[in-house]
Structure 1
Amino acid sequence: MPQRLHVNGKVFTGRGEDDFVSAFAVADGRVVWVGETADAPTDEHVERVDLEGRTVLPGFVDVHTHPSLVAGNLGAVACTPPHVGNIEEMVEALRRSPRAGRGEDVWIEGWGYDESKLAEGRTPTAADLDRVSTTQPVYVRRSDCHSGVCNTRALELAGITRDTPDPPGARFGRREDGEPDGVLMELAANDAVLAAKETRDHAHAVRELAGTAAHYDERGIVAVTDMMARREPYDHLDLYRGARESGMRQRVVLYYDWAALTAASDGTPPDLPASARTGDVRVGGLKLFMDGSISNRTAWTADPYPGSDDHGMRTLTDEAIRAAHAYARRNGLQLVFHAMGDRAIGHVIDLFADEEPWLEGVPSVRIDHATLMTDEHVRRIGAARMDFGVVTQIVFFFAEHDSYVRNLSPERYRRAYPLRSLYAGLDRLALSSDAPATTWADPDDVFTSVQAAVTRRAYNGADIVAEQALTVPQALLLYTGRARRLADLPGVGLIAPGYDASFVVLDRDVFTVPVEEIDRVRVAETHIRGEEVHRRG
């Protein structure tokens, strides 16, 4: 018997582009009936909720994001537009950090800069950040979350000198005299500096993660992944399960960073216990980096970047891929490759196209970002023995338009994020945010991505390949009914019998508002498993 009946709504079920109903019933945290208000079950003991014509969607599923980084950014300084437009403003913002002046061991941190959005058009260096402090370490993460910059004090604490070799697949920026200049290119270079950072205790890390629940509730996100999970200094599985006990209701799937996992275990990580792969917080896969980013000219491309002979960076060896493949197959985990450049994407397909899938229900291999995916890539995926999935982020093209114009030839620019082609050609496709890894103050606002996908206009109104636009229902499916199939997240993404009663009620009808106003739509209510977790005041 239903406990609550929602009627008189415009309910997008997530099953298909035109699948709408007006009513649904909930019992014990699950949807038990879906249909039209006129056909709704009647019982005087059932609570009846009149939606009054409002629009209801399945709760959003963000299958490529970084809650642990989002949590860390809550105490860091935003170095993004509109707050910061030049290096001087960045320095001043960091000087105002609440951590400034708290002691020589306290790190001053920032996030989100992109040199293409700074008036100087260059990457800040240690010399710039030394103006913030020469006694406290200062570190600012770039918008792509791959690179960053630190001051001289941070370099000293990390023991990085002119004689320190570049890490595999990464680089330390250097002055003409060979001394490090504080610029940290790619993950291994950043990790070398952050390893010197003070470690917060386990309880603090759990509280910090639990604090992200309100962030996701407000945005209507009911299921997330963490694409950079680690086991050191604390196992993220333990942290997220602790956060769940502290009130975080989102379903969570963790993807261990393969490089960090192997580094923490002398190259041979132990197999996972079965308990790690079950429950509402579970380990679902491994994350590997095939290349860098378009905005930093480190994505691995077939043709060189304009004005250079640089093809970006390949950041992963075939030997490492084979080891990760064996581990994933043995432990029942998904392999997810960060691959933005066309050469990186093609290499992943080359390696796995003829391999036998080892998972059921989700793709065994995911290609994430897929910025320069071509029609030939799509054709090869369709013909492959392997079960591939693709997760992409139009929010990058939207927010980082300036760097895409600078770093892509006109022909490549026309091929960036071909959503319409991908939607038509791929069965397993999702949109996601990769928050906080872009130069935008609120990158995991789903409606920002939906508007960008539908209008194909950048933050500044520039065309970002209009012929690759999606419709509103198509874009929403890539955050709901189709997104649910890219990760092991049962029970979410649909308003259908047997699924979690995890849904959102909107303050405006996203299907009828002018497309230029989609980003103004807000989540009025979020419900997770039948419980209201957010109501907009």
Structure 2
Amino acid sequence: MRRITCLFIGLSLSASAIADTLYTNMKGYTLTSPAGEQAVLQQFSTMLVENGKIQAIGGQALAERFTETEQTVDMQGKTVLPGLTDAHGHIQSLGTSLLQVDLRDTDSVSAAVKKVHTYAGEQPEMEWITGRGWNQEQWQQKAFPSASHLDEVVTDRPVWLIRVDAHAGWANSEALRLAGIDKDTVAPEGGEIVRDEQGNPTGVLIDNAMQLVEDVVPEPSLQQQRAAYELAFEHLIKLGITSVHDAGINADEISVYKGLHNQGRMPLRVYGMIAATEPKLAQLLAEGPYESDDQKLTIRSVKIYADGALGSRGAALLEDYSDDHGNHGLMVTSEEKIRDLYELIIPHGFQINTHAIGDRANRVVLDNLAEVYNELGGRNLRN
């Protein structure tokens, strides 16, 4: 079945009988209110678009009413569905991952290492071997991997592989060396360097400790960043995703987005969340919320990282992990810092979106939000 996806913005229709574009001869389907299980499936064969937004859907009567249009498009019986919105995505990371070794489908550490070995052989010019998607919980032996596993296949170049949840990384010995990580390295607050019984780093870094390696990974050029975005856009559109909430972008990424939008190279809508770790956060907030005239690019929210993730044992829990006694996770951002961020962000009218996985992290986030509501307001921001 051939399928076209689009975003239904509105179904109201003015009295005017002239429109930009009339799409006819389609098999259209959408859901109308009420929401949930009571939603009603509506079929249509004609769609009216004005100024890039859908104004009405209907049948032959709608087509006959609008005979004067700038353009009429015969859809040749194709299926038309509402576009999908991804409410938590990372577009640049997606684009970059499409260029890296993909470890999502591996079922063992040996299978992951084999894919890294193959990829490294195919990319002899790459200074770093990078990838993403490993998940030890899906492996036959549910244990963290180690640098020694990677050292068996790649020793001449650093290897850095991000876990599927982006809350842990797996490095080979060369990457650890370049990052200066050894037995005496102290993990940063909100991070953990996983160690063996002798106290040596195993090669797995959790949450804020990942930055030790990230700091020495070469920054992609502006051209490489744009290529990653465009590759991700193409991938998402093919899946019918027409809007993405990009959860945690920095100042450089905002500039790339604005540049791509100004050049007409954004085929979908993006709701950007500024990363709370962005050094220029206060400056960006002072500039106020941003929305392009066509509403394709909106930046009016901030992403705060409260804790880590369960799979990497970084989610902040009230009690110890049942399989890791003495470990109750990590607060990536301290409670004091979270409160400071609320007081900084809310007065500027930006929505706050918080990554909070563990019960302890959720308690910290919700208790502080409740207090901030009483002091600063902000309920209308739907934090």
TM-score normalized by the length of structure 1: 0.60
- Structure 1 position 287 matched with structure 2 position 324: no
* Residue 64 (1) aligns with residue 88 (2): yes
Q: What corresponds to 1:80 in structure 2?
A: 104
Task: Please report how far the alpha carbon of residue 338 of structure 1 lies from its aligned counterpart in structure 2 after TM superposition.
Answer: 0.6
- Larger RCO (CA under 8 A, 6+ residues apart): 1
Q: What is the RMSD of the two structures over their aligned residues, measured on CA atoms?
A: 2.6
Q: Residue 242 of structure 1 corresponds to which residue in structure 2?
A: 259
- Letter aligned with residue 321 of structure 2: Y
SS at the partner of 1:206?
A: helix
Name the CA shift for 1:274/1:316 in 2 (closer, same or farther; >3 Å).
Answer: closer
Superposed CA offset, 1:187-221 (max 9, x none): x1112101101122212212221222211110111
Contact kept? 2:95, 2:231, Cα under 8 Å? yes
Aligned partners of 1:108 and 1:136 also within 8 Å: yes
CA distance in 1, matches of 2:324, 2:232: 42
Q: 1:98 to 1:132 in 2, by over 3 A?
A: closer
Residues 349, 138 of structure 1: CA spacing in aligned structure 2 closer, same or farther, 3 A cutoff? same
Alignment of 1:170-185 (within 5 A): 170-185=191-206
Query: Which is higher, the Rg of structure 1 or of structure 2?
Result: 2
1:83-126 CA distance string (max 9 Å, x none)? x22222222211111576635x7111121111122223211111
CA shift for structure 1 position 80: 2.0
**Partner residue of 2:341?**
324
TM-score scaled by length of structure 2: 0.82
Distance 2:111 2:74 in 1: 50
CA 1:55–1:357 in 2, change beyond 3 Å: closer, same or farther? farther
Q: Deviation at 1:13?
A: 4.4
Aligned to 1:97: 119
1:253 paired residue number = 271
Indicate how the Cα distance of structure 1 residues 86 and 299 shifts in structure 2: closer, same or farther if over 3 A, else same: same
Structure 1 residue 67: Cα displacement: 0.5
In structure 1, stretches of 5+ residues that fail to align are 366-537
Distance of aligned partners of 1:315 and 1:50 in 2 relative to their CA distance in 1, 3 Å threshold: closer
Answer whether contact 1:14 1:57 (CA < 8 A) is retained.
no
Q: Mark the CA change 1:86 to 1:239 in structure 2 (over 3 Å): closer, same or farther.
A: same
Report how many aligned residue pairs link the two structures: 350
Per-residue CA shift, 1:515-535, capped at 9, x if unaligned? xxxxxxxxxxxxxxxxxxxxx
1:25-174 to structure 2, matched below 5 A, reads: 25-38=48-61, 40-46=63-69, 47=72, 49=74, 52=77, 56-81=80-105, 84-97=106-119, 102=124, 106-174=127-195
- From 8, 14, 20, give the equivalent of 2:42: 20
SS at 2:40's partner residue? coil
Deviation string 1:333-355 (CA, Å, 9 cap, x unpaired) is: 11111112233223322111250
Question: Equivalent residue for 2:290?
Answer: 277
Q: Secondary structure at the match of 2:313?
A: coil
How far, CA to CA, are the matches of 1:10 and 1:247 in structure 2?
27
1:472-511 to structure 2, matched below 5 A, reads none
Mark the runs of 5 or more structure 2 residues left unpaired by the alignment. 1-17
Whole-angstrom CA distance in 2 between matches of 1:299 and 1:194: 21
1:41 positional shift: 4.4
| Percent of aligned pairs with the same amino acid | 25
Kept in 1: contact 2:31–2:40 (CA 8 A):
no
- Go from structure 1 to structure 2 and tell me whether the alpha carbon gap of 1:333 and 1:241 turns closer, same or farther (over 3 Å shift): same
Residues 77, 93 of structure 1: 8 Å contact kept = yes
Within 5 Å, give how 1:293-308 maps onto structure 2. 293-308=309-324
Provide the secondary structure at the position in 1 that maps to 2:137.
Answer: helix
Q: Contact (CA 8 Å) 1:223, 1:252: kept in 2 or not?
A: yes
